[in-house]
C-alpha cells in the first residue's frame, strides 16, 4: 500500500498536473491550427504573458488588501484571461492579419510567429529581467496530506492546494469547451471552419468573427495554462518557451486541429513524462526479499534518467510524426 501511494504521489498527481497544463496549451495550438492552418509558435508567449498578467494582478489585489481562501493566482485568473484574450487579438491584428490579407503562405505566418515570440519574450525580459518570481511570496502554499494509515500505508497522500484546484479548473474548462463546440452556434461554426474553410465561407459564416473567437479562446486558455504552470513551479520569462515543444507534441499526438485529441494528447504526454522518470525500485522493493542475492534491484531503476524528462515528449513527438502524422486518434476530417 505504501508503494501504491508513493506511485500515486510521484506519477499520478504530477502527471495529471503536467498533463492539464499541456492539454490547455495544446488546445489553443490545435484550434489556431484548425482555423488558420499554421503552427503558432508564439503560443508559448501567450502562456507566459498570461502568467505575468495574473502575477501583476495578484500583486495588485494583495496590495489593495484583498484576501481570499484560495491562492490569489486563481482569484485573478478570470481577469487575466480577459486581458490575455485581448492581447492575443491584438497580436493577430498587428502581425498575422496583415500577412493573411496579403495571401501569405502558412509557412510565412509560422516564421512571423517566431518573430512575435522573440518580441514578446524580449519585452517580458525587459520589464521583469531574467529572474524568477513566485506567486507564493506573501501567501503560503497549502499542502494537503491525507493520512492513509488506516489502509496500511505509512506514507500520506500529498497534494498541494494549487494542484488540486488546477485539476478541477482544467476539468471545468474542458467541459465548458466541449459544450461550446457542440452546443453553441459559434462553436459549431468553428468546427465547420476547421473542417472546410471554403465551405464555411460559402455558407455565409462570418469567418473573421470565427478567427477572433479562436484567438480569444487560445489567449484565455493559454493564460490559464501559463498561470497554472507558474503556480506549480515558478514564474520566469522563459516559462512556457521551454515547454512549447512538449505542448506541440501533445497537439500532434492528438491530431492537429482536433480539440479533444489535444486534451488526450496533453494528458498522455504528461503521464508519459512522469512515468518515464519514475523510479520503479521504490515500488518493487518488496521483491528484494524474494529475489536471489545476485538479482537485487539497483537503487534507481527508471526508464530514462531524470535529466532526460523533457526528451520523452520529443521522442513521442518524433515517433508520432513518423508513424502516424495525423495523430494517434483516428482523424475525423479527410
Nearer to another protein, 105 or 145 (CB): 105
CB 281 within 8 Å of CB 296: no
Q: Give 103-137 as a DSSP string.
A: T--HHHHHHHHHHHHHHHHHHHHHHH-S--B-TTS
The DSSP 8-state label assigned to residue 76 in this structure reads S
**CA angle (316 as vertex; 310, 320 as ends), nearest 5:** 150
Interface with another protein (CB under 8 A): 33, 38-39, 95, 98-99, 102, 104, 106-108, 110-112, 114-123, 125-126, 129-130, 185, 188-189, 191-192, 195-196, 198-207, 245, 248-249, 252, 256, 305, 307-308, 310-311, 314-315, 317-318, 321-322, 325, 332-334
Nearer to another protein, 198 or 293 (CB): 198
**What minimum distance in Å lies between the beta carbon of 229 and another protein?**
18
Location of C-alpha cell 499541456:
22
**What minimum distance in Å lies between the beta carbon of 143 and another protein?**
31
Nearer to another protein, 2 or 326 (CB): 326
Nearer to another protein, 129 or 152 (CB): 129
Partners of 157 in beta bridges: 146
Nearer to another protein, 287 or 310 (CB): 310
Q: Tell me the C-alpha distance between 207 and 190, whole Å.
A: 9
**What minimum distance in Å lies between the beta carbon of 81 and another protein?**
24
Q: Tell me the C-alpha distance between 149 and 258, whole Å.
A: 43
Cβ count within 10 A of residue 175: 10
**What minimum distance in Å lies between the beta carbon of 271 and another protein?**
18
**What minimum distance in Å lies between the beta carbon of 100 and another protein?**
12
Amino acid at each position: 500500500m505504501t508503494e501504491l501511494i508513493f506511485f500515486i504521489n510521484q506519477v499520478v498527481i504530477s502527471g495529471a498536473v503536467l498533463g492539464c497544463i499541456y492539454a490547455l496549451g495544446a488546445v489553443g495550438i490545435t484550434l489556431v491550427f484548425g482555423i488558420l492552418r499554421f503552427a503558432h509558435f508564439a503560443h508559448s508567449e501567450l502562456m507566459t504573458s498570461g502568467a505575468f498578467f495574473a502575477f501583476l494582478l495578484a500583486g495588485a489585489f494583495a496590495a489593495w488588501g484583498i484576501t481570499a481562501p484560495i491562492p490569489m493566482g486563481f482569484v485573478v485568473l478570470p481577469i487575466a484571461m480577459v486581458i490575455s484574450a485581448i492581447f492575443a487579438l491584438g497580436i493577430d491584428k498587428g502581425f498575422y492579419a496583415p500577412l493573411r490579407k496579403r495571401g501569405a503562405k502558412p509557412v510565412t505566418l509560422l516564421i512571423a510567429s517566431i518573430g512575435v515570440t522573440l518580441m514578446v519574450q524580449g519585452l517580458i525580459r525587459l520589464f521583469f529581467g531574467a529572474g524568477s518570481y513566485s506567486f507564493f511570496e506573501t501567501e503560503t502554499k497549502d499542502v494537503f496530506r491525507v493520512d492513509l494509515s488506516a489502509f496500511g500505508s505509512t506514507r500520506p497522500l500529498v497534494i498541494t492546494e494549487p494542484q488540486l484546484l488546477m485539476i478541477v479548473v482544467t476539468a471545468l474548462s474542458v467541459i465548458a469547451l466541449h459544450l461550446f463546440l457542440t452546443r453553441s452556434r459559434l462553436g459549431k461554426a468553428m468546427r465547420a471552419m476547421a473542417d472546410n474553410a471554403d465551405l464555411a465561407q460559402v455558407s455565409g459564416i462570418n469567418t473573421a468573427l470565427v478567427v477572433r473567437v479562436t484567438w480569444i479562446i487560445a489567449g484565455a486558455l493559454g493564460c490559464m495554462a501559463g498561470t497554472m504552470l507558474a503556480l506549480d513551479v515558478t514564474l520566469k520569462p522563459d516559462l512556457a518557451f521551454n515547454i512549447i515543444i512538449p505542448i506541440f507534441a501533445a497537439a500532434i499526438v492528438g491530431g492537429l486541429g482536433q480539440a479533444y485529441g489535444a486534451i488526450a494528447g496533453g494528458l498522455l504526454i504528461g503521464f508519459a513524462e512522469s512515468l518515464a522518470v519514475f523510479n520503479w525500485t521504490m515500488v518493487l522493493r518488496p521483491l528484494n526479499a524474494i529475489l536471489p542475492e545476485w538479482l537485487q534491484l539497483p537503487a534507481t531503476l527508471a526508464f530514462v534518467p531524470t535529466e532526460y524528462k523533457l526528451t520523452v515528449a520529443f521522442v513521442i513527438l518524433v515517433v508520432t510524426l513518423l508513424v502516424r502524422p495525423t495523430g494517434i486518434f483516428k482523424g475525423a476530417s479527410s
